[in-house]
Amino acid sequence: MSEHQANDITRLEPLIDEFVGQSAPYYRNVFDTMLRAPGYKFTLNWAAAILGPIWFGARGLWNWFLSVLILETAAYIQIGMGFFGDLGSAERERASSIQSTLDLRYQQIEAAETAGNSSTVDSLRRAAESLEGALVDAQAAATAADATGLWFIGGGFLALMLIKFGVAALSNWTLEKQFARWRSDKSVAQGWSMPRAALAAIMFVACAVLSTIQFAQPTAFAVLAEFPTDGNWRLAVGDWIQDGFDWLRRAGRGVFDTITAGMRNLLDAIEVVLVDTPWPVVAFVILMLAFLSAGPRVAIFTAVALAYLGLLDFWEKAMTTVALLGAAALISITLGIPFGVFCARRPKIYAIVRPILDFMQSMPSFVYLIPVVAFIGSGKPAGVVATMIFGSPPVIRFTVLGLQQVPETVREAALAFGAGPRYLLWRVELPLAAKTIMAGVNQTILLSLAMVVVASLIGAQGLGEDVLEALQFAAAGQGLLAGLAILFCALILDRIVAGRG
């Protein structure tokens, strides 16, 4: 080690003493060894090995606390099952079930002998002999399982020793890493905290003891196997929610009727363009869009995909699907981009909106159908609303992300040259964020298309109906063809929107 490195380590000793708290001389020597060269250095901390997760908790290393707690709890479960676990319980339950069936067969044999039905008696006796053999095997298996207790104990102790050795070898290394973080961020946990140690001990003992009892004696405490609750609570809460839906449906009938009428008019207008217009004209327009947006290769692919839709009689349903998708995506994009701009300019509002977007994206798509049907009813307008709710979060998120990624220096330069807020947004921020926003638009379109099959459950027509019918009647061939049609619609839209990339 050079003299310069030695001086650096000497200067760090007061910081090491302040950071570690207890056992400062030991950790000065350990950190001195580790700081001589980067990377992992093998050392053993037997105090950490003995205390296990409690040591990590007391030091504020809660990620390591959780990992060691899980590993040591698994080892204690093995040991507990070996000492007082009912290892043959499953086989004894099987033997009891076989014995019950065997008793029934004996009764049936007796009844058949009384009736003089010899053929039935022979069949029942053969079944009884088979059950007797299975009963003997189950009882032998139960006895053999009970005899494996020493193996469980030995395996558990071996696993526990290996875990303890791993903890001893890694604890100083993890603490040194935390010391490096603490030097630049004083909010990082430091020292040996007795409250943290007590909390870690309580959590570790509770997890280890309860888990060991549950695995070793599953029937000892019913409260550990089933959550203590009352089934009537769920019914009561469900009734309250249903009452709320009923009240909202009555109070907002005019609003919901207006939404339904607006959705239906928009759908009808799009379907006039896509369905009622002669198919050669629609195909020509789509091909031109593909060519102008993404080039000749995408245009050729689009021509093949459109030929597939037409030759296999999917044209009208595909255009209906695109109309439903277009209505939902148009509304999502038209409302989502301005709302994303609004949220990007107001971080506090976005902090409230972001959990709502998380909820909208995490909720299973089928769940959206429940409130939509309750308020709007079934049919195409309900499908548009459900699709819009499912597909709108990406365009909002990507708009906010794109505007947040605009370099602050660019904004300052534009303002320095006299740009006003409107000019800054339209001529500086939106052009720089355009690629990210278009990625959000692309994701909104594809997610909306993913709702096609789900929306068919509430009467939205299109290719989703064919997939749903194929599922109902197990028509694998027809379902695959309809699925490919949906795939081609998605790829055409994706390539047109993505452009030349």
DSSP state of 148: T
Q: What's the pLDDT score for residue 75? A: 94
- Would the pLDDT of 203 be above 90? yes
Q: What's the pLDDT score for residue 500? A: 60
Higher pLDDT, residue 148 or 169: 169
Q: What's the pLDDT score for residue 352? A: 92
DSSP 453-487: HHHGGGT--SHHHHHHHHHHHT-HHHHHHHHHHHH
Q: What's the pLDDT score for residue 218? A: 80
Q: What is the mean pLDDT of residues 319-326?
A: 84
pLDDT tens-place string over residues 3-25: 455 555 567 788 888 888 888 88
Percent of the chain at pLDDT above 70?
97
Q: What's the pLDDT score for residue 221? A: 79
- Would the pLDDT of 195 be above 90? yes
- Would the pLDDT of 1 be above 50? no
Q: What's the pLDDT score for residue 145? A: 78
Q: What's the pLDDT score for residue 476? A: 82
Among the residue ranges 166-170, 172-176, 219-223, 257-261, the one predicted with the least confidence is: 219-223
Among the residue ranges 31-45, 295-309, 318-332, 434-448, the one predicted with the least confidence is: 31-45
Q: pLDDT-based confidence at 501, cuts 50/70/90? A: low
Higher pLDDT, residue 240 or 125: 240
- For 499, other C-beta atoms within 10 Å of its C-beta total 13
- Would the pLDDT of 118 be above 80? no
Higher pLDDT, residue 473 or 7: 473
Q: What's the pLDDT score for residue 354? A: 92
Q: What's the pLDDT score for residue 204? A: 94
Rounded Cα distance, 476 and 486, in Å: 15
Q: What's the pLDDT score for residue 21? A: 82
Q: What is the mean pLDDT of residues 424-431?
A: 87
Among the residue ranges 132-136, 297-301, 426-430, 452-456, the one predicted with the least confidence is: 452-456
Among the residue ranges 126-135, 273-282, 491-500, the one predicted with the least confidence is: 491-500
Average pLDDT, the chain: 85
Residue with tokens 């379109």: 445
Q: Which residues have C-beta within 8 Å of that of residue 321, sequence separation ≥ 6?
A: 449, 452, 462, 463, 464, 486, 489
Q: What's the pLDDT score for residue 8? A: 54
- Would the pLDDT of 34 be above 60? yes
Coil, helix or strand at residue 363:
coil
Q: What's the pLDDT score for residue 398? A: 93
Q: What's the pLDDT score for residue 9? A: 58
Residue with tokens 């595909």: 318
Say which amino acid occupies 351. Answer: A
pLDDT tens-place string over residues 68-99: 999 999 999 999 988 888 787 878 888 888 88
Question: pTM of the predicted model, to two decimals?
Answer: 0.68
Q: How distant, in Å, are the alpha carbons of 331, 337, 427, 430, 436 from that of 340?
A: 14, 5, 17, 11, 12
- Would the pLDDT of 26 be above 80? yes
